[in-house]
Copies of this chain bind each other. A is one copy, B any other.
C-alpha cells in the first residue's frame, strides 16, 4: 500500500478566463498526494519555507498524508504565477520564484525507504535518480519530467530513465524527448531508453498508454465546467499511482484501469481553482464518474 512522492510544494497565483486566485497551495507533490490520498496512504517528500503555515499543513493532514518527509527550512516557499488564455491548452508563466526549492535535496525518512510505489515529480533528474536508488525495493517507480530537463540535462535524464519503470509526460514532451513527431515511433524510442511503461498525457484529448507492446488510448472525460488546468497532470499521476498502490496489481488490465482513475481525478481537478475540488470530493463521486467514463467510451463490435 505504501506510496511515496517527491516533488514540489508551492504557492500558485493563477489567472484563467474564469477567474483568478492568489498564492494558493499547489505544486506537483501537493496535487499528486491529495489525488492519491483518495486511494492509498501517501508519503510526501518536499521542502517548504518559513511562510508555510499550519493551515497549509492542515490540508495534507486532513487527507491523512504522511508529512514527516516535508522539510521546513529558512526562506520562502516556491512561488509560481501563471495565466491561461482562450482554450487553456497551455500555461503562460508570468513569474517563477524557486526560493527554498532551488536548494532542495530530498531527505527520505527511514520509514519511507520501504515504499513499494514511488512517483518522482518533475525535479532535476539527478535528484530523481538519487531518490530512486534509495528505494531499491520499489515495485513500481514512475517519473515525470519536462522540456527544461530534456534540453538542459539530457545526460542526467537519460541515466534516470534507465532506472525507472514508467514515464508520465505530455505529448509535446514525448515528441521532444524522442525527436520524433509520430507518437507510436516516439513511444518506442522512449521505451528503448528505459521505461517500458509510457503514459502520454494529451490534455483535453485524453491519454495514450504504452505498456511494452500493448497500447491503450482513452479520451478525456467531457466537462461542462473547466476552470483551471493547473495540476491536472500531477493529479492524473496521483490517481494512476494511487489506484496501483491500492490494488497492488500491475497487470495490463489493471494499469488501464489506473489510467481511467487518473483521468477521472484530473477531470475533477480542473473543475475548480487549485485543490478545491480534489479536497471537496467523495469516494462515491469518484466511482460514479468512473462509471460515467465507462459509458462515455464503451462500444462493442
Interface residues of A (CB under 8 A from B): 86-87, 181-185, 202, 205-206, 208, 214-220, 222-224, 226, 253, 256-257, 259-260, 290-291, 294-301
Query: Within 8 Å CB of A301, what residues of B?
Result: 257, 260, 290-291, 294
Residues B215 and A222 in contact, CB atoms below 8 Å apart: yes
**CA of A185 to CA of B297, assembled, Å:** 19
Can you add 14 more A-B contacts, CB < 8 Å, to A205-B206, A206-B219, A208-B219? A183-B222, A185-B224, A202-B205, A205-B205, A205-B219, A206-B206, A216-B298, A217-B296, A256-B298, A257-B301, A259-B299, A294-B300, A294-B301, A297-B299
CB distance from A251 to the nearest CB of B (A): 12
B-chain residues with CB within 8 Å of residue A256 when the two chains form the complex? 298-299
Complex CA gap A253/B253 in Å reads 23
Q: A206-B205, A257-B301 are known contacts. Are A182 and B226 too (CB-CB below 8 A)?
A: yes
Contact of A299 among B218, B222, B291 (CB under 8 A): B218
Contact of A260 among B86, B184, B218, B299 (CB under 8 A): B299
B-chain residues with CB within 8 Å of residue A182 when the two chains form the complex: 223-224, 226
Contacts of A257 in B (CB 8 A): 299-301
A218 touching B297, Cβ below 8 Å: yes
Q: How far is the CB of A201 from chain B (nearest CB, A)?
A: 13
Q: Knowing A205-B206, A208-B222 are in contact, say whether A216-B184 is a contact too (CB < 8 A).
A: no
Q: A257-B299, A300-B253 are in contact. Are A217 and B224 (CB under 8 A)?
A: no
Closest Cβ–Cβ distance, residue A236 to chain B (whole Å): 15
Residues of B within 8 A of A290 (CB): 301
Min Cβ gap A262→B in Å is 12
CA distance A86 to B87 in the complex (A): 22
**A159 → chain B, closest Cβ, in Å?**
29
In angstroms, Cα B182 to Cα A249, docked, is 36
Would you call B299 and A253 a contact (CB within 8 A)? yes
